[in-house]
Amino acid sequence: MQPLAGTVERLIALIIDNVILATTVFIIINLFSIDFSPVYPNTYGYLLDIAYFMTLPALWGGFTLAKKAANIRIVKVSGEKVGWSNMIGRIIGGGLVYALSFGVAAIASFFMVIFREDKRAVHDLIGGTKVVKVPDLRKP
């Protein structure tokens, strides 16, 4: 059984992933001189978040770029690789719960990762997932 990823590891990976996304959007906007003013300003950001946080782990064995660097990954509760259904539940289902609760569930999730023995947040419960540490393959 793989050890569970802690709050700090998960939070740092989330921050790094969001910096990667923000930088990507900034480059695309400036490189192509895209004017997003006719569209609700956050629409493209939300779509990119969904695409990144759902697609990359589903296709790359539970990793995002920052999770790979941090040696943590998303897996099914059983320890198997996540699939599309897990990631849809995790990202879309979790996102809806967070939005409908006006962020209260997101705050609760933070404390769930700190205090629950299984370190699972609301989106983990919905998606049937957990985040585990993986061995650092870069070390000799």
- pLDDT bucket at 78, cuts 50 / 70 / 90: very high
Of 5-9, 33-37, 122-126, the poorest mean pLDDT is in 33-37
pLDDT tens digits, 89-103? 999 999 999 999 999
- pLDDT bucket at 85, cuts 50 / 70 / 90: very high
- pLDDT bucket at 49, cuts 50 / 70 / 90: confident
Rounded (10°) angle between helices 7-32 and 104-115: 140
Find out whether 76 and 125 touch, Cβ atoms under 8 Å: no
Pick from 83, 5, 95, 11: nearest CA to 49: 95
Distance CA 109, CA 107 (A): 5
Residues 74-94, mean pLDDT to the nearest whole number: 97
- pLDDT bucket at 66, cuts 50 / 70 / 90: very high
- pLDDT bucket at 30, cuts 50 / 70 / 90: confident
Residues 45-70, mean pLDDT to the nearest whole number: 93
Output the pLDDT for position 72. 97
Asked whether residue 43 carries a pLDDT value surpassing 90, the answer given is: no
